[in-house]
Structure 1
Amino acid sequence: MRQELVRRQLAVHLTLPPATVLDVGAGQGTQAIQLARDGYEVVAVEPDPEMRAVCGTALAQEPSSVRARLRVLDGSLETLDAVPGLEGRTFDAVLCHGVLMYVEDPNPALRALGRRVHVDGIVSVVARNAGAMAWRHVQRGDFARATALLDEVERSAWERRDPRYTNELGVECRADSLERLGAFFGGIRCSLEYWYGIRTFSDGVAIDTPVPADPAELAAILDMEERLGRTEPYRRAGTLMHLVGRRGEGRGPVL
């Protein structure tokens, strides 16, 4: 669900191929491989050797033309400036999807991304939406958990910190507000071109629920998610938010 929605949303903003893309925290390479299929020159950076291996296995099944357009490097968002093979290079698009919730402070992370994008290029970030943290559990009828998360959001606002939550893998993570991330985009000379909600209503099902067997049903769910994700006020209910900023003229971000 997430990957398909991000793919559709990203396509609205990307320069047509051939263009260059840096995918930071690429995971198993779903977006990176699809972009290479579409004709983009892609560099994927991923710190987890198991995820790089999964990406490599999937890439090996692709035609040689696709394999030639994708490089997979060992590195992370935190060490981006020191990743061998990236020295001083900038790209038409810089992606960082599903990573910010694992870093302590999103501001230096966004600055690292901003140093890698061309003027008039885009920075695409998918982060956890602090404004909708409780909605998943409300949909599932777990009102105790929803209440605890609402309390956490209120407490974090009072304490002037980002709210925390435990994801469905049992890992403690951090959520972001749209307003704060938007301000950080300004710090890297990127105007917020648009933002989308992701999983506005489909998180009511458990994580182990199988994909609908009927292709028409799945297509209807994806189409409705896509439309709600770009429409006010429904996009604000998305578990995740997808921000796309475009780099303007002027000096680069402060190092």
Structure 2
Amino acid sequence: MEGTDLSSTTEQKLGRFKRVCVFCGSKAGYKSTYAEATIELGKILVQRKIDLVYGGGSVGLMGLISQTVFSGGCHVLGYVFIQIYISVYHVANFVVSFMMYRVIPKALQIHEISGETVGEVKTVADMHQRKSEMAKHADAFVALPGGYGTMEELLEMITWAQLGIHDKPVGLLNVDGYYDSLLALFDKGVEEGFIDNAARKIVVIANTAEELIQTMEVGRGEGALLEEYVAVHDKVAPRQRWEVDQ
């Protein structure tokens, strides 16, 4: 079920992407500019009638992007990984409690680590499946500021593009220079011979959401070339697939 359409007063533009996957932090960060940029991105997705695919969280920047897109009337699809640790003590406690009181101890009840979410929520078995499903259902990827998880997701999408597993645009919203050090590391990799010049061009970088989405959409137009901003690589992994060969 989509959110209530609150965008009637906003001019709507039909985007070239149907769904965009957004990677971002489960925390809001210390600067208000991070939240402002997240809300701006959400509004731009709504203006272009682009649905959201994301990690299913309800707090931090994840909560902001999902609530903004959902309240704007677009579909939100979140993938949640639920991890449960069960010890021998918990199992014994479960057996005793169930035999005596017919209740299940709270220690064995499933709790989503991200809390309540909006839109459509799907659970996955592990983190790899989470990334795989998000990538499979998106036409492009955007990374906002975030921690290790956000950076890992961004780097995996860049790597998959390099290997030819997908040819979808990968964008980085560099709010207040948050990713300057990471981008400098990419440049160092090129300088030291670990990253090809062509591979360095995979990620699209912008300081504002409007500029980022517009740049990413350029290569999707009729007659446009994807290599305008995403390098074309030898297909090391030519099949577009998301499962890992066993």
TM-score between the two structures when normalised by the length of structure 1: 0.39
Higher-strand-fraction structure: 1
TM-score between the two structures when normalised by the length of structure 2: 0.40
Answer with 1 or 2: which has the greater Rg.
2
